[in-house]
Structures are given as C-alpha cells and as structure tokens.
Amino acid sequence: MTKVYCIGEGLYTPLGSTVDTVLEAVREGKSARLFDRSGYSGASFFEHIALEASRNALKGIEITPGTGFVLSTTKGNVEHIGKEDISLAASAARIAGALGIKTKPIVVSNACISGIAALLQGVRMIRSGEYDKVIVTGAEVHSDFIHSGFDCLKALSPEPCRPFDKDREGLNLGEAAAAIVLSSCHSEPSSCHSEPSSCHSERSEESFEISDGVIRNDANHISGPSRTGEGSYKCLRYVMENVRKEDIAFISVHGTATPYNDEMESVALYRAGLSDVPINALKGNFGHTLGAAGILEAIVSMAALEKGIVLPTKGFHEMGVTYPVNVSALERPASGKLIIKLLSGFGGVNGAMVFRKGGAQ
Amino acid sequence: MKAVSIPSGTNLTALYRELVGDYPKFFKMDTLSKLGFLLTEMLLQGTEGRFTPREDRAVLVFSRNGSLANDINYAKRMEDFPSPALFVYTLPNIVAGEISIRNKYEGETSAYVLENYDRQLIESIVREAFQDRITRDAIVAWIDCRSDSEWTAQAWIETK
C-alpha cells in the first residue's frame, strides 16, 4: 500500500506559531488557551487562523493542480450565527481559494475526533492515487455558542484542567489552528515528480509516516462515553494489528479532564493491554481545541518524539482513574519509534492514528 | 441498489408512528437526526439479522448545511436556559451516532460537509472509506436540513 508522509506541519496557536516555539512552551509547562485578538479586524477570525496555519505548513511546498484540501472543524464561524452565512462548506471554499487549491474542498465535521477523521480522509485520498498532496487543516475559535453548550452540559472546569487527576473537574475550552501536508513522497519539491519509490531527499529521514488510522463508534450514547470504552478499545485493537507494543514511544490520549472521558480511556487502554505504555495529554496546555485538537496534538507529539521525549501532562498530579495507566506527569525520555494519537467525541465517535518516525519500519 | 428519500416537509412524527412507534428517543432528536433515523428504517426494515452488533458497516453522512438548522434553534435559546440535549445536536455527526445506536453499528461513522450535492465526490469518499480493513459496506446519506421544514434527504447502501 502507498505510504503517506507528513511533509509539512504548521501551527497557529495562543502558545506560538512555529512548531519549535510551541514545543518549548509545552516543555516549560506553559498554558495559553485563547488568542489575543486585538489588532485583528478581518471578517472571519476562524478562517484567518486556518489560513495562517495552512500557510505555515505549506512553507517550501508547492500547490499543484492535484493538491486536495480537507478542513477539520466542529463549529467554524458559529460566532457569527444569525448575521451571515456560517456554513462550513463556504468557509472551506474561501480558505481553499485563498490557498490556490484547485480541487473541491472537503469538510470533515466529526465532533471532537474531527482532526483524526480529517487526517484519515487525507491519507485515503493520497492512497486513492487521485491526489498528489493533501493539506489537512484543523481550526476552532472560541465563541459564546460553544461556551454556552459545554456550560449547560456541566463539562467545564472552573480551574485549569487536570487530565487523569483525581481532582479533575472538567475541561477548558481552547482555540487554535494546525495543518499537516500529506504526500506519498517524502519531500518537496524538485526531488519528487514521479514514482514514490524515486523520492529521495534529506527530509525523508525525518518525515513521519501516517501508517494507520481508524474510526469506531460506541453505538451506546450520543453524549456519554461508553463505560467499557468500546469504540476506543476497538480503535486500539485495530491499529495494534500492525504495531509492536515495544515500538510505541507514547500514546497521546484525548485526556479532556472530564471525569467520564479519562475514565473511559483508562478502560480502553487496559483492555487493549497498553496500561504500561507511557501516555500524555496536552489539554492542560492548549485546552480542548475541538476540531483542531487531533492535528495540533499530533504535530506537537511528532516534534516531541523527534527530540526523543515524552511531554509532561500539565495538571496531572495524582492518579484519578480506575484502571492502571502510565501517565507522564513530567517530561521523560522516549524510547520507541511511533506515536498513537487517540480521540473521542460526541456522537459516540472514537479515533486512533499511528505516526511512525521517518525511516522506522 | 435500493435508495430511499423523504420529501421536504413530510410530517416526520406521522412517518415515525407508521414505521416504528416504539423508540421514544426519536422525540428528543433534532430534525437532521430524525431524518437519518427514518431513512435508515426505510432502508433496513425486514433485513435479516438486524440489531446484531456489527463493526463492518460504516455510516457516512453528507450535507451542505451540517447541523445549521439546529444551530439556529440553539442560538435562539442560548440566552435562556438551553438544554444540554439541544446543544449535542449542534454537531453534524450526531445523526450518524443515532443510526449507530439504533442499529448497533460499531464501525466507522463520519460526517462530511460539501459545497453542494456532488455525487461523484461522495462516491469517491465512500470508496476511500472502504480502505478500512473491516468495513464491508456503508450506509450513505445526503441529508441537507435547511430548516425544520425544508430539506433534501436520501440514503442508500454501498458495498465494497
């Protein structure tokens, strides 16, 4: 099967706009969930941050007629509801147009797993052979609409969130944009114009491969996670078919810090036989960035593995889930060559994706 | 290939009573989910082995407007005391979740938003979804709910 590589990564977050800056901020235990919007006067902050992250990911990469575009978001321009056309399709078309994309944009809006679902869509588009590159951009901005919804669900923590901690009280909402450019070639631009096998470049050493990905439904409840972690467990079981446990450097869990989510993930990891594998959660740094979360957390995790580290889980102090899990409270060295990213969301959806370090088999 | 549709403006409660009648969760659903639920009932009733949990059938829902109709309902109530249930339906994929719960589909579920009803693009995305190693077929639906009384709703099954 065609191998699919991450050939460009771009961020636009309240913690910084380059992968290095953001990685260092997370290592230092910093947290920033909302943008300072002073100085911005455009029509759509959502589209603005999506574009910024996309452009950062596309540095040095050429848009070809066969470049696809997938947008991951839950609510897009919802802050402007009642005032203008807030359809996600219209946003995607404007972003794609501004980037110079010629193919038809696709929006994946699959609740909190949108990021993994959109990356999986991008991977499949490359494997179909109909696209030579796909840019997958996830973005979410904070709004009264989203705040009100999570507030009435009683899912918001009054304090900074504490993933997997015994005193966790809920999640914090965040906003961010993140983008990954996918290709069957390791690299850009000139070295790669024909068969994937002829792609050779310096970057091939470091490009991560997305070697697998999956979505499964709990078929249980539209807003409550399964008590048996059914969908998340099935996702892990699926990706573990092609992963040796000792190769996993760490699992970047969803870790929203709601009592139910973290408990559910501990059940799923236990059932999958992964209780002793290092896990971490980044929601303490960024908050829950919804449609951006999967892509943002994947990029930061890949950068961490490149540096040979497992990032700390900000907010975690004392184990607060029933089943054993190996939470990284502090930064520690990583051994292994791949990362699994996990997400779960409303509608009973769960996702898992495998990011394999360049050159690793 | 069997395909079903529900004309815009159909009385959905009457259709529910005619087709099902014993699934009270129907009444808390938003219009988008009601349409998805009823379309799959029309597609699947009488199918052998229905309601046995399965992981090999995907549910892929497409539209232009996503959950917009219910977003507007929620925004109108935001100032008062909106119900958590109403908020959950402000996501385009909840309809796929409702179909999964009803039919015990534990496979892939996803919601896509496209600029318009583009059958060719939908077919490509469905074919791409068949790259999953377990998925063997998919319930595919185009449900574009413009308001609680105006929609396009059709569904069919595609096999790998």
Lookup: tokens for A179? 């983008």
Cβ–Cβ gap B83/A105 under 8 Å? no
Q: What percent of chain A has pLDDT over 90?
A: 92
d(CA A142, CA A122): 26
Q: Are the CB atoms for A49 and A117 separated by under 8 Å? A: no
What's the pLDDT at B123?
98
What's the pLDDT at A190?
46
Alpha carbon A270 to chain centroid distance? 23
pLDDT digits (tens, 9 = 90+) for A32-87: 999 999 999 999 999 999 999 999 999 999 999 999 999 999 999 999 999 988 99
pLDDT band, very low/low/confident/very high, at A204 (cuts 50, 70, 90)? low
Which of A106, A223, A234 comes nearest B106 by C-beta? Answer: A234
d(CA A26, CA A177): 16
Cβ–Cβ gap B108/A214 under 8 Å? yes
The residue assigned the tokens 């588009």 is: A125
Closest chain A residue to B130, measured at CA: A124
Question: Measured between CA atoms, how close is A210 to chain B, in angstroms?
Answer: 14
Cβ–Cβ gap A217/B125 under 8 Å? no
- Exposure string for A256-269, b = 16+ CB within 10 A, e = fewer: bbbebbbbbbbbbb
What's the pLDDT at A197?
44
B74: chain A residues, CB-CB within 8 Å: 145, 149
pLDDT band, very low/low/confident/very high, at A194 (cuts 50, 70, 90)? very low
The structural domains of chain A, ordered by start, are 5-204 (3.40.47.10), 208-356 (3.40.47.10)
Lookup: tokens for A168? 């966790």
Alpha carbon A26 to chain centroid distance? 15
pLDDT band, very low/low/confident/very high, at A191 (cuts 50, 70, 90)? very low
Q: Would the pLDDT of A237 be above 80?
A: yes
pLDDT digits (tens, 9 = 90+) for A218-234: 999 999 999 999 999 99
- Respond yes or no on whether ipTM tops 0.95: yes
d(CA A175, CA A12): 9
pLDDT digits (tens, 9 = 90+) for B116-130: 999 999 999 999 999
Q: Would the pLDDT of A361 be above 60?
A: no
Q: Are the CB atoms for A106 and A70 separated by under 8 Å? A: yes
pLDDT digits (tens, 9 = 90+) for B74-107: 999 998 888 898 999 999 999 999 999 999 999 9
What's the pLDDT at A198?
44
pLDDT band, very low/low/confident/very high, at B28 (cuts 50, 70, 90)? very high
Alpha carbon B159 to chain centroid distance? 18
Average pLDDT, chain A: 94
What's the pLDDT at A84?
87
Q: Are the CB atoms for A49 and A91 separated by under 8 Å? A: no
Question: 3-class DSSP state for residue A326?
Answer: strand
Q: Would the pLDDT of A359 be above 70?
A: no
What's the pLDDT at B79?
84
pLDDT band, very low/low/confident/very high, at A188 (cuts 50, 70, 90)? low
Give the DSSP letter of residue B15: H
The single-letter code of the amino acid at A92 is A
pLDDT band, very low/low/confident/very high, at B148 (cuts 50, 70, 90)? very high
A339-347: average pLDDT: 98
Provide the residue ranges of all domains of chain B, joining segments of one domain with +: 3-47+64-159
A92: chain B residues, CB-CB within 8 Å: 113, 115
Closest chain B residue to A103, measured at CA: B121
Average pLDDT, chain B: 96
d(CA A81, CA A83): 5
Residues 6+ apart with CB under 8 A from A245: A273, A274, A277
Restricting to A residues 190-219, those with a Cβ less than 8 Å away from any Cβ of B are 214-219
HEC secondary structure over A148-203: HHHHHCCCECCCCCCCCECCCCCECECCEEEEEEEECCCCCCCCCCCCHHHCCCCH
d(CA A315, CA A25): 15
pLDDT digits (tens, 9 = 90+) for A238-264: 999 999 999 999 999 999 999 999 999
What's the pLDDT at A196?
47
Cβ–Cβ gap B71/A78 under 8 Å? yes
What's the pLDDT at B57?
98
What's the pLDDT at A130?
96
B28-33: average pLDDT: 97
What's the pLDDT at A200?
44
What's the pLDDT at A285?
98
